[in-house]
Amino acid sequence: YDSTIINCTFVKPIIFSFCSTSGKVAVVDVSPCNTQPCQLHKGQSYSVNVTFNSGVESQTSKAVVHGIIAGVPVPFPIPIEDGCKSGIQCPIKKQQSYHYLNSLPVKSEYPAIKLVVEWELRDDNKQDLFCIRFPVQIVS
Ligand SMILES: *[C@@H]1O[C@H](CO)[C@@H](O)[C@H](O)[C@H]1NC(C)=O
């Protein structure tokens, strides 16, 4: 019996809170992230996977991401804003479950601080399909 250990990475869901009552978010995965809050290393990119159930129908979806630093929301640019190109098959149907997949690039020039990431996905009417917040710590 060959008991070779298979190298496999388990993704642990992270702790998050809601900034909107829209949609139902079941799981948020940030990878790689082995700590709470996630430590994000400068110059690296992290994958984000939000499993949610939509409360509405929508043809489009657009992500809006902010870093909340000392209570002030600062735009946090992500490479692909279009949710329909981020693992979601549009049009979005009501009461359907989706995995929203995107990446969070951490630029080298970001300060090494703790902040809260606020991630919104907006529908045709600029209302939230979901809005979640999770704490992170940027490290060098
Ligand atoms: C996203 O997360 C869900 C729930 O944990 C999981 O079933 C799915 O496989 C994940 N997708 C990817 C691409 O990691």
Ligand 1 pocket, 29 CB below 6 A?
A: yes
Residue 98, in any domain of the structure: yes
Residue 101, in any domain of the structure: yes
Would you call 94 helix, strand, or coil by DSSP?
Answer: coil
CA distance 101 to 78: 12
Query: What does the pLDDT look like over 38-59, one tens digit per residue?
Result: 999 999 999 999 999 999 999 9
pLDDT at site 13: 86
Ligand 1 pocket, 90 CB below 6 A?
A: no
Ligand 1 pocket, 51 CB below 6 A?
A: yes
- For residues 50 and 100, is the Cβ–Cβ distance under 8 A? yes
115: domain CATH number? 2.60.40.770
Residue 61, in any domain of the structure: yes
Residue 117 Cα to ligand 1 middle (Å): 20
Q: Total structural domains in the chain? A: 1
CA distance 128 to 122: 4
Residue 7, in any domain of the structure: no
Q: Which residue is associated with the tokens 């990446």? A: 103
The residue-averaged pLDDT of 86-98 equals: 97
CA distance 85 to 114: 29
Domain span at residue 114?
17-139
Q: Which ligand 1 atom is the nearest neighbour of the CA of 87? A: 13
Residue 10, in any domain of the structure: no
Cis bond leading into 111, ω under 30°?
no
Q: Which of 31-40, 46-55, 86-95, 121-130 has the lowest mean pLDDT?
A: 31-40
Ligand 1 pocket, 101 CB below 6 A?
A: yes
CA distance 91 to 24: 18
pLDDT at site 118: 97
- Environment class of 71 (CB within 10 Å of its CB; exposed 0-12, middle 13-18, buried 19+): exposed
Residue 2, in any domain of the structure: no
pLDDT at site 12: 75
- For residues 66 and 132, is the Cβ–Cβ distance under 8 A? no
Residue 31 Cα to ligand 1 middle (Å): 11
Side chain identity, residue 25: V
Query: What does the pLDDT look like over 2-34, one tens digit per residue?
Result: 455 454 556 678 899 999 988 899 999 999 998
Q: Which ligand 1 atom is the nearest neighbour of the CA of 29? A: 2
Residue 62, in any domain of the structure: yes
pTM: 0.90
Q: Select from 99, 103, 130 the residue to mutate for testing ligand 1; criterion: most ligand atoms less than 8 Å from CB.
A: 99
Ligand 1 pocket, 41 CB below 6 A?
A: no
Side chain identity, residue 72: V
